[in-house]
A and B are shown apart, each in its own frame.
Chain A
Amino acid sequence: MKAQLTRRTLLTTGVGSLLATHPLPALTQASPLRLAFIPQENPDKLLGDIEAISGWLSQELGVPVEGFVTIDHAAAVEALRNGDADISFMGALPFVLAEAEIGAVPLLSEVYRGKPYYTGRIFVRRDSGITSLADLEGRDIAFADPISESGYLYPLAEFKRAGLIAGIDEAEAFFGRIFFAGGYQQAMQAMAQGLVAAAGASQYADLLLTPQQQPQVTWIAESPEIPSHVVIARPGLDADLRARFVETMLRLNEPVHRAKLQYLYGPDGYVPADPEAFEAVRDMAREAGLLS
């Protein structure tokens, strides 16, 4: 990925072209709403997506909407803190950290397959003979990433719940080797190809395997529910604008607008966020030493 990402590589505005053809009276009296996006994959694609969604939001909200790509979560939170950004999109773990750090407010939760939450699982090959977490003692395992909720922290916590380790720091001693493969798919492929005995990943991660591989794997443990990614706001954002933004985003659930969800990391829809739903994530972050 050599698109050089700086804190504000690109500023796209959905309002410039709009002004020419659709004069909106409110525009002249409103300051722009700024959205900070964190790249999950190809940043070039994300730039195009931002342009499309910010244009639509601008039209619907009647205020200029600007979107930009930040280099990482820290940059997005920093932008929220200093007012360079009003809104951002992140996972449950970064959100609870941002909440603790700057008082970020959860607005909307992503919906996948009808639910605003998902789980993490421990996957193994069906022919491996592994049927329980205890069978993985001394065996190699691949996780997605050390800061991934469903791709590390939650699946690993299942070993603690099963009484096999007392805490994260005992994981190294329990397993043979722990690998961080770089993503769900890489972790699942490592398991499916027999490079490791198991993989810890999102409940849907087996769908990342080939259709031929999918029947060859199964899962032996599943974590409690993990809140889906969340749309957050800086604490000082104007309450009226915040409410209208939420209302507008919820319209993406309507069939006529649903295709636009692909511009926003591709959820199936949004529901209003429930701050209480993140309590377990806060606990998890504290236990992992990520939150004091």
Chain B
Amino acid sequence: MQATLSPNLRVKCIIVSAAAALAGSVALATPAKQVPWLPEAAAYRLTLHYGNLAPVPWEAIAEAWSEPYRGAEFPDGAFDRIAENSALSTEAVAAAIAAEDRHALFGAATRLLASRIGEELARAIAASSPSAAQAAVSEAQELYRAFGDHVQAADPEAARELGLAWLELTSAAGSSGVLGAGAVALDDARMKAAGKVIRDYLAANYLTSEFDRRAKLSAVPETVAAGGTATDIPATLPPGSDIFDQDPLPRLVLNFEEQGIDEKDLPMVAYGDMLFDSPEIFGEPARSVGIACSSCHNRSDINQRFFIPGVSHQPGAVDVDGAFFNPMFNDRRADSLDIPSLRGLRFTGPYGRDGRFASLREFSRNVIVNEFGGAEPTPFMLDALVAYLFEFDFLPNAMVTPEGALTEVASDAAHRGEAIFNRPMAGLDDKSCASCHIPSANFLDGRAHDIGSAEPGYDGARAGAFDTPTLLGTAYTAPYFHDGALPTLASVVDWFDETKSLELSDQERSDLTAYLEAVGAADDPYEGFGERNTPFRLAFEELTTFASTLDTLLPARDRQHTLLLTDTVAADLAADAGTMSNQSARPEIYSLARLLVDVGEAVRADDWTAAEAHWTTFKAEAEKIEERVY
């Protein structure tokens, strides 16, 4: 299977194995793309993930084995692939799922995966040609990936032996050469010896007839788990997750910036900006997997692609009080919500979909501490975060006046829609759409209403009222409603027409939709990039702006907030360097990041003079490489 590789085929398409365990403990807001998983390995990892949620989503587990995971490159699910390629039975796994027996499922799934690896190893050793042997070794290695990072964390010595055994196997499998030239025969004895190392380990740890009952499911080897040694398993996202930034990147409109004020002159705002991008303020697993406020609220807007299995019911949605992020805060209800935009946040209170927080400060604390399990933030952190959040402005829109009226730029249809929007209707108790979405108040009324968009949680319950959302910028925030049930603005109009018996004609629905689209539009909704104005350039400017708060923090000898900043920014700066267009300048970025690490280390050693010296060097170096940063 190993053809000569395109220079960066895999760089462009497939990046990064599950090697997070090797990488130290610094959290990054720079997510890493995952190599596509083989269906069986994906099903196993999803089983571990779902099996650790409470309540366990059994339907999702069944689907994990029967269907391809979200975004998979393979058309078949795990069961189908095993049926096609393997002599192994999947009955034990299916039976455990049907019985909703978590422990039995763990044992059956673990044995099945280990057996598949053994099966491929046997195929490799029995292969008559290097290409067949390599294909089988590659398959076995990709299946082993489902165990690999947990072996690394729990039994590093064995992980090293196994790593060398895999290297030995791939080397001993030989090569078919190219066009009959350069062939290397497979080395049967070496393959058998290396295969035995792996098979013995699997037999002792993943093929046992009985596993100890585990409070938290993981692929930690049984000899370690049964020994009672606590293992710090690296937090990872399950296959099918996507926490990358939305593409195209939403434009960020900051009030001070539009007035020509430099963020570097607003240290509290800049520090809040850093916190908004820092996974360090959250607890595990959000911190380690690189989730920050900006992961969901991308550039103050939304992230339509955000998805984590068992956490998101659809892309762009998240259940922040489920079992995944903070089990203590788990409300045991599958109530994943559509991610709301934060544009114009200082006008859109109260906060939360149901408006449960009058104070943005309290809301932010709840997000950090309860939803994402972070440590109690300091008053300064909350003040800084709120100071930054209050700078989020709505997108400029030439079709709407500041008072909320359409301008002449808007279409005739939109103007006709505007009249409908302001017209009292019997189905709305003789109110109009504008009664709640008040045009002169940013299309808000600051109240929560039950419009019948949610099912009651129990018989007789008052189903729930939701905060009136603004209509500004909504052309870019689909889907709509608290649960993202409606895909388009037209479908929102249809929903109101039908559920409220508005009796709108086709023309009126069309005009009302045109109005919503005009109000929800923007002159320039996305960031524009060019040859040198690259996403890395943007990230660099942001990160160096964050760092500029050291001008305030270091003289104040503020150890806690300095370290939070250096830990966040140094790691992200280095990690983002891989995205540079100008790869030749990458080492200079690493040097800059190192200087921030040095600042942090000096502060930890209580050497403030050295910290200030490193910071001074950082500023000088950053200025020197200015033109090469893209």
Contacts and interface: CB of A to CB of B under 8 A. Distances in A.
Interface string B34-69: 011000000000000000000000000000000000
B577 interface: yes
Contacts of B175: 145-147, 180
Nearest to A213: B23
A12 interface: no
A211 B7 contact: no
B182 A289 contact: yes
A207 B177 CA distance: 27
B2 A204 contact: no
Contact of A214 (B141, B163, B578): B578
A182 B181 contact: no
B5 A151 contact: yes
A54 interface: no
A214 B577 contact: yes
Size range of the chain B interface in the assembly: 35 or more
Contact of B11 (A110, A195, A207, A289): A207
B6 A229 contact: yes
B141 A182 contact: yes
Interface string A135-153: 0000000101111111100
A178 to B, nearest CB: 8
Interface string B1-31: 1111111111111111101101110101010
For B1, B3, B28, B75, the residue with the greatest tally of chain A CB atoms inside 10 Å of its CB is B3
Given A147-B177, A180-B175, A44 B19 contact: no
Contacts of A39: 1, 3
Contact of A207 (B3, B15, B30, B182): B15
Given A210-B19, A211-B28, A267-B6, A101 B179 contact: yes
A112 B135 CA distance: 28
Interface stretch (B164-172, B436-444, B620-628): B164-172
B8 A211 contact: no
A146 B9 contact: no
Interface string A51-81: 0000000000000000000001110010000
B167 A195 contact: yes
A209 B16 contact: yes
A2 B4 contact: no
B167 A202 contact: no
A74 B177 CA distance: 10
Contacts of B180: 74
A7 to B, nearest CB: 13
A70 B19 CA distance: 33
B176 interface: yes
A174 interface: no
Nearest to B180: A74
Nearest to A264: B6
Contacts of A195: 160, 163-164, 167
B33 to A, nearest CB: 10
Nearest to A207: B11
Nearest to B161: A195
Contacts of A179: 167-168, 170-171
A212 B26 contact: yes
Contacts of A249: none
A125 to B, nearest CB: 11
A186 interface: yes
B15 A208 contact: yes
A13 interface: no
A90 interface: yes
Contacts of B138: 1, 182
B237 interface: no
A11 interface: no
B2 A290 contact: no
Contacts of B1: 1, 39
A192 interface: yes
Interface range for A: 35 or more
Contacts of A208: 10-11, 15-16
A210 B20 contact: yes
Contact of A182 (B6, B131, B137, B587): B137
Nearest to A218: B587
B21 to A, nearest CB: 10
Interface stretch (A92-100, A158-166, A231-239, A271-279): A92-100
A183 B10 contact: yes
B192 interface: no
A77 B181 CA distance: 13
Interface string B55-97: 0000000000000000001110000010011000000000000
A44 B8 contact: no
Contact of B74 (A42, A181, A210, A218): A42
Interface string A231-267: 0000000000000000000000000000000100111
B36 A145 contact: no
| Residue from the set A77, A180, A181, A285 with the largest chain B CB neighbour count within 10 Å | A180
B73 A45 contact: yes
Contact of A215 (B6, B184, B574): B574
A40 B14 CA distance: 12
B32 A2 contact: no
The residue among B8, B24, B36, B137 with the most chain A CB atoms within 10 A of its own CB is B8
Given A2-B84, A91-B5, A204-B8, A146 B168 contact: no
A91 B6 CA distance: 7
B19 A40 contact: no
Contact of A288 (B2, B75, B182, B184): B182
A270 interface: no
A205 B2 contact: no
B556 interface: no
Contacts of A90: 3-4
Contact of B17 (A149, A178, A185): A185
B609 interface: no
10 contacts: A39-B3, A40-B6, A112-B7, A142-B167, A146-B177, A204-B11, A210-B20, A212-B24, A229-B6, A290-B181
The 3 closest A-B pairs by CB, nearest first: A212-B23, A211-B575, A91-B4
Interface of B: 1-17, 19-20, 22-24, 26, 28, 30, 32, 35-36, 73-75, 81, 84-85, 131, 134-135, 137-139, 141, 160, 163-164, 167-168, 170-171, 175-182, 184, 571, 574-578, 581, 583, 587, 590, 593
Interface of A: 1-2, 38-42, 44-45, 72-74, 77, 90-91, 93-94, 97-98, 101, 110, 112-113, 118, 142, 144-151, 178-186, 189-190, 192-196, 202-215, 218, 226, 228-229, 262, 265-267, 285, 288-291
Given A101-B179, A211-B28, 15 more contacts: A38-B3, A41-B9, A42-B73, A147-B4, A147-B178, A181-B171, A182-B138, A183-B10, A195-B164, A195-B167, A202-B5, A209-B16, A285-B181, A288-B182, A290-B177
